[in-house]
A and B are shown apart, each in its own frame.
Chain A
């Protein structure tokens, strides 16, 4: 997988980091005013998938592990949150915590088994285990099989703020998204993140320096699964729905596509990729063009022409000019 994953890993000039910071601020300001111009549910869908893609990117972009089973954490958390809010009557923030904890637990099991193998074998084990989880979701009574969990109440945040108000829901999702992205940014730029990068760069060398690389990989895997779960649980609250779509292998493929399109190993790439894919899906479904064909075509063009993804190519161009 090394060839796929270390595309955008160059060290960047400091001026570019400052530019990235200002662009993030501008993007945040836009997100604050956006719901007054654009349909909030559409924006929330983008934010949920963007957080999902960022969580996935934590693993593929900064540890070099290509998981093909992240739908299990995303969709699994959606079920856990939906069930605890609807059936147990818990408040949304507790429901989200349960979703995150469940996804982290699943991540611990899947990661523990998968990190023992490298490259494509790692990906195949994650795929196989997530398919097993899909089957559990199909059969278990609490998921209601093909129907899914419908009519999930959004409830009152901390028992006070009613999330049935679209703007309250939107700003809750925005805060969750920002918190999730900041958490990822912190992990990547921490002493732990530094070791993750070293492992991605040269695993045998990291071992020879005394690092138990399996533990670092597992730690990153669980963190990525938990954050994917945060995205999935949030989506269940937004759409008041948890279904099999979110645990299916196509969802694992979709998040890979989003991350690849936007730029693996960049902070903004997965957000851009998710926004692009979700927007295309929304508009194309109205026009009647088969979505998957077009997205497939875009994917091929992306892989052939700009392998670093949209943000990855931009960063590459800017950092070359800065030198």
Chain B
């Protein structure tokens, strides 16, 4: 399943920061249509790998291929245009824009309404139907005209997912989508991720292992910047090395 039809592959991915090796020779293969988790103790390099895959960091060495195309030197905005869209660990909304405007910003580019400086912003009203549809899917329809800064943390995460989905990405990378959330929010977002993964691939960094066990088809465990184990959740959680890595920090 892993290598059958990979949408994203990384080979020998390494990142050094002034002599400190944050990520060392990581090989990854993300199967199309799967939900793939990156887990590991704090400081294992999960977010660094994530930033490398989405091109927000340049790798020191190694290659990244997306659908067979080498994207190792591609710039982040171009990667997003190819259909590989990420979220951020700290909620990434446009705080002073309303909830509706947040989604409209994402819709502007695909709709060709981003560079027109001579037209009234009212032309963006044509995006409202689609934006409201996306917000309905994450239960934010009643917050359309509230500034994003004023909604709760869980809802900001939901808004971020709605904004990301506005681009209809083939590959979605979610950086700790459940971080800092209460139980109800976690269940809601987990259901949402399962729903959106029906016709796309999802890679997620996640600390909450019960979420990972529940959602993910495949799990890669990182430790000190290296791949420690890979497999289904059941295989990985049975691995004594993984248990050791997590000992004292989190349950496994």
Residue of B nearest to A197 (CB): B97
For residue A189, which residue of chain B has the nearest CB? B121
Q: Nearest Cβ distance between residue A204 and chain B, in whole angstroms?
A: 7
- We find that the number of chain A residues with CB closer than 8 angstroms to chain B is 30
> B92 contacts A208, CB within 8 Å?
yes
CB of B114 within 8 A of CB of A211, answer: yes
Looking at A187, A193, A194, A197, the one whose CB has the most chain B CB atoms below 10 A away is A194
Give B97-140 interface residues, CB cut-off 8 Å to A: 97-98, 101, 104-106, 108-109, 113-121, 123-124
Compute how far the CA of A197 lies from the CA of B95 in the bound complex, rounded to whole angstroms. 11
Distance of A9 Cα from B147 Cα, bound (Å)? 11
Q: Are B105 and A187 in contact (CB-based, < 8 A)? A: no
Q: What residue of chain B has the Cβ atom nearest to residue A206's Cβ?
A: B105
Contact with A along B178-189 (1 / 0, CB 8 A): 000000000000
Min C-beta distance of A266 to chain B, whole Å: 14
Chain B: which residue is nearest A6 at the CB level?
A: B96
CA of A205 to CA of B92 in the docked complex: distance in angstroms? 6
Q: Which residues of B contact A (CB under 8 A)?
A: 54, 56, 75-78, 80-81, 85-88, 92-98, 101, 104-106, 108-109, 113-121, 123-124, 147, 163-164, 167
By the criterion CB–CB under 8 Å, are A208 and B121 in contact? Answer: no
Whether A198 contacts B105 by the Cβ 8 Å rule is: yes
Whether A211 pairs with B92 at a CB distance below 8 angstroms is no
Check if A223 is an interface residue, CB within 8 A of chain B.
yes
A190 contacts B77, CB within 8 Å?
Answer: no
Nearest chain B residue, comparing its CB with the CB of A192: B117
Contact with B along A207-220 (1 / 0, CB 8 A): 11111110010010
In the complex, the answer to whether A202 meets B92 with C-beta atoms within 8 Å is: yes
Known: A191-B115, A192-B117, A209-B85. A201 touches B80 (CB 8 A): no
CB contact under 8 A between A11 and B96, given known A191-B115, A213-B77:
yes
Alpha-carbon separation in the docked complex, A2 to B59 (Å): 29
Q: Which residues of A contact B116 (CB under 8 A)?
A: 190-192
